[in-house]
């Protein structure tokens, strides 16, 4: 994609400028999100092959009827013995942009596609790359799928927070944390060991 004249590259924008360009916006559930996930997962399988243990569609875009930011979240679990540097390099070569890396307490790399200097692309993805294991995101997702009342409460919370923190993604995320942690703890008890 060509650079828009007069628009700074994303790497040169301040956090405040990024939040203005990419505000918190909730959309009605879009059935196409499941197809976008499936296409992205197939591409990742072809790109990374044997290093992948599991790819999962997580987040609100996977819950029918639930409003969501129109960003498809994927959890990519990889074999702990894989060459992590080569894996991340392969993703970067496939136009994934690293947003965050951490080595401890657990190794994790978060990447995205669909953010441009002119705003959102038609399809936007967040890819969360972790070592294979027992992950909170899967428990939270499944609880929302199985408990529509909890999904409705989560949607109401997100609507309120989206109004309050439209241009502050960190505050929006932090304000959801207690709800997500509470639901995840309940789901872990109910679904004990489901993802080992």
Domain coordinates of the chain in residue numbers?
10-190
d(CA 86, CA 106): 18
What pLDDT is attached to residue 4? 46
What pLDDT is attached to residue 3? 44
pLDDT tens per residue across span 106-119: 999 999 999 888 88
d(CA 37, CA 141): 15
Give the CA dihedral 78, 82, 84, 87, nearest 10 degrees.
-80
Cβ distance 27 to 70 under 8 Å? yes
What pLDDT is attached to residue 15? 72
pTM summary value: 0.91
Which regions of the chain are under pLDDT 70?
A: 1-7
What pLDDT is attached to residue 6? 54
Contacts with 176 (C-beta within 8 Å, 6 or more apart), sequence order = 157, 158, 161
CATH code for residues 10-190: 3.30.460.10
Contacts with 172 (C-beta within 8 Å, 6 or more apart), sequence order = 24, 161, 162, 164, 165
């Amino acid at each position: 994609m060509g650079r828009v004249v007069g628009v700074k590259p994303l790497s040169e924008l301040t956090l405040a400028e990024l939040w203005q360009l990419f505000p918190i916006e909730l959309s009605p559930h879009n059935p196409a999100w499941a197809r976008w996930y499936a296409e992205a997962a197939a591409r990742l399988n072809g790109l990374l092959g044997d290093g992948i243990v599991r790819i999962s569609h997580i987040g609100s875009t996977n819950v029918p009827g639930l409003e969501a930011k129109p960003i498809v979240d994927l959890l990519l679990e990889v074999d702990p013995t894989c060459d992590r540097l080569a894996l991340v390099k392969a993703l970067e070569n496939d136009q994934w942009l690293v947003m965050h890396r951490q080595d401890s307490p657990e190794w994790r790399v978060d990447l995205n596609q669909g953010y441009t200097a002119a705003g959102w692309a038609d399809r936007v993805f967040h890819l969360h790359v972790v070592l294979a294991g027992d992950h909170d995101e899967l428990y939270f997702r499944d609880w929302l799928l199985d408990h529509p009342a909890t999904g409705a409460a989560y949607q109401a919370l997100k609507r309120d927070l989206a109004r309050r923190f439209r241009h502050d993604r960190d505050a929006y995320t932090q304000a959801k944390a207690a709800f997500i942690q509470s639901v995840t703890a309940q789901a872990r008890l109910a679904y004990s060991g489901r993802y080992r």
